[in-house]
Amino acid sequence: MGTEEAAPGGRLPNLDVLRGLAAMGVLVSHAYGLGGRAVPLAAGSLTDAALMLLPLGVWLFFAMSGLLIGAPFVRSLVTGTPRPETSAYALRRIARVYPLYLVCAAAVLVAVGVRSMSTRDTAAHLLLLHNLVPNRQLAFINVTWTLSLEVLFYASVPIVAWAVAALRRGRPVAPPVLARWIVATAALSVAWMLAAGFVSPVMTRVGLYARMLFPSMWSAFCPGLLIAVARHAAPADLERSAALRLLDRLRRDPAAARRVGLGFAALGVASFAARPAWGFLFLWAYDLGRVCWSVAFGVLVLRAIEAHHLPARTPRLLERLGDWSYGTYLIHGAVFTVLTTTARGRDLIPLPHGGLAAFAVHALYLTALTLPLAALSWRWIEQPAMRAARRRTTATPEPSPATT
C-alpha cells in the first residue's frame, strides 16, 4: 500500500499543514474563554456547535502521533528488523517535548505560584505524568493534559513493540494480524471509556479520573497506528483483514474517503446535541463522539499523506505554522493560563466580556501574543534541542511528534 515518501528526517510534509491548522483551532477556542465563558460541553445553538469544533484539533494530533511515532516500530514488527534503539528514541522524544515545556512551566509557576500544588503534583506536572494523578489531569497549564497523554503514548509504544516481538520470538508479524490486535486494543479502550462514563454519575471523582486516564484515550492513537500498518500491507494481506482492505479503498478512492470521513464527522457533530442532564448517557454520547472524530481524522491523515506535492501548493504562512505548531499549542496555553488565573493577567484582557466582537478581538490578541513567541521558540529552543539530540544519536532519524 504505497504512500508519499517521508521527507528527510522522517517527517511527512503534508501533515505540517494539518498541525498548524489544528494548533490554531485550539488557540481560537481558548481565545473564546478570555471572555469569561468556556467552550460549552453541549451545543444549545449553531454558534455553540461551531465553537465546539475548534478544540477538536487535539484528536487530529493524536491520530498523527499514532502514525508518526508508531511507524518505525510497526516497520520493525512486520519486517522482523531491529526496533529503534531505545536510548536514542527516548532522547529524541525528550528533546522534542521537554525543553520548551519546562520554559513555559517555569514562566507559569513564577506568574501563578504553586501554593495550591503539592510537591508530588508539581513533580508530576514537570515530568508530564500528571495524567496518572487523580484530580490533576486538567490542572496547571490548560493544554498539557494532551501532552501528558502524548508522553505516555511515547513510552508505551516501545514497550508494546518489545512485548509483541517477545511473544513472536522475533518472527515478523503479518500486517493483518497486527491490524487485528490494534483494533482489539482500540475496542478495549472504548469499553474502558464507556465503563468509566457509566460510573461517573455515581462515583464522580473515580469516573472522571478513569475517563481521562491513558487507557481510555488509547483508541485515539489507533487510527494512525492502523495507517502505519497499512503502509506495509501487500495485496494478499488485504484479503485477510477488513480494516486493511477498507484503508486501501479509502487510499485509492477519494470519494469513498470523503463519505466515510464526513459520515463519522457528522456523528461527532450529532453528539454535540447530548445534554448533561442525561447523566451517563450524555457521557457516552460525548465520548463516542470523540471516537467518531478520531476515525474521521484518521481518514483525513490517510488522505493527507496520499496528496502529492501538497507543500508546493501551500501558502508559506501555513508551512511556518506547521513548524511553529508545538510552540503555538503550548505557548498559547501558558499565556491563557496567566491571563485568566492572575489578577495582573486579567487586567491585560482587552474586553473581559462575551460577544462576537470581543471573541474576534481576543482571537487576534492571543494570536499576536503567541505566534512571535512560537517563532522564537522554534528557532532558539526547539530546533537546537532536536539538533543536539540528533548529534548524540546514530540511529535513523525518528519522526517529529504530531503535537509539533
Q: What is the mean pLDDT of residues 35-43?
A: 90
Residue 305 covered by a domain:
yes
Percentage of the chain modeled with pLDDT above 70 = 91
Residue 80 has pLDDT above 70, yes or no: yes
pLDDT band at 312 (very low <50, low <70, confident <90, very high): low
pLDDT attached to residue 403 = 45
pLDDT at 26 over 50: yes
Indicate if the pLDDT at residue 398 is higher than 80.
no
Rounded CA separation 218/210 (Å): 12
Confidence of residue 1 (pLDDT cuts 50, 70, 90): very low
The grid cell for 345 is 493577567
Task: Provide, rounded to the nearest whole percent, the portion of the chain with pLDDT above 90.
Answer: 75
How far apart are the C-alpha atoms of 23 and 26, rounded to whole Å?
A: 5
In the prediction, which pLDDT does 8 show? 37
Chain-wide mean pLDDT for the chain?
Answer: 90
Identify whether 6 is part of a domain. Answer: no
Distance CA 200, CA 299 (A): 31
| Residue at 202 is within a domain | yes
376 part of a folded domain: yes
Q: For residue 85, give the DSSP letter.
A: P
Q: Taking each helix axis as running N to C, give the angle between helix 242-252 and helix 222-230, from 0 to 180 degrees, rounded to the nearest 10.
A: 80
Closest C-alpha to 138, from 337, 288, 280, 272:
337
In a domain? residue 370? yes
Per-residue pLDDT at 116 = 64
Half-sphere exposure of 76 (CA within 13 A, CB side): 19
pLDDT in tens, 112-142: 876 667 888 889 999 999 999 988 888 789 8
Please state which of the ranges 36-45, 123-132, 174-183 shows the lowest mean pLDDT. Answer: 36-45
For residue 240, is it within any domain?
A: yes
**Sign of the alpha-carbon dihedral angle for 93, 94, 96, 98:** positive
Number of domains in the chain: 1
- In this prediction, residue 3 carries a pLDDT of 37
At how many degrees (to 10) do helices 14-33 and 316-323 cross? 80
Q: Is residue 396 part of a domain?
A: no
pLDDT in tens, 197-210: 999 887 788 888 99
pLDDT band at 7 (very low <50, low <70, confident <90, very high): very low
Q: Where are the alpha helices (DSSP H) in 168-234?
A: 175-199, 204-212, 214-217, 222-230
CB atoms under 10 Å from CB of 135, counted, come to 11
The amino acid at residue 215 is P
Q: What is the pLDDT of residue 16?
A: 83
**169: confidence class by pLDDT, cuts 50, 70, 90:** confident
Q: How do residues 85-101 score in pLDDT, each as one tens digit? A: 999 999 999 999 999 99
Model-wide pTM > 0.85: yes
In which band, very low, low, confident or very high, does the pLDDT at 313 lie, cut at 50, 70 and 90? low
Report residue 302's pLDDT band, with 50, 70 and 90 as the boundaries.
Answer: very high
Answer yes or no: is pLDDT of 269 > 70: yes
CA angle 8, 329, 387 (to 5 degrees): 35
pLDDT at 110 > cutoff 60: yes
Average pLDDT over residues 150-161: 97
Number of residues assigned to the chain: 404
* 306 — pLDDT class (breaks 50, 70, 90): confident
Residue 13 pLDDT: 62
Residue 181: per-residue pLDDT: 97
The pLDDT, as a whole number, for residue 314 is 63
SS3 5: coil
pLDDT tens-digit series, residues 52-73: 999 999 999 999 999 999 999 9
Mean pLDDT computed over 293-301: 97
Q: What is the pLDDT of residue 309?
A: 55
| The amino acid at 87 | S
Question: Grid coordinates standing for 263?
Answer: 459520515
Query: What is the span of the domain harbouring residue 207?
Result: 14-391
The runs of H, that is alpha helices, within 307-400 are 316-323, 325-341, 343-347, 356-377, 383-391
Within a domain: residue 402? no
Average pLDDT over residues 228-256: 95
Does position 360 have pLDDT exceeding 80, yes or no? Answer: yes
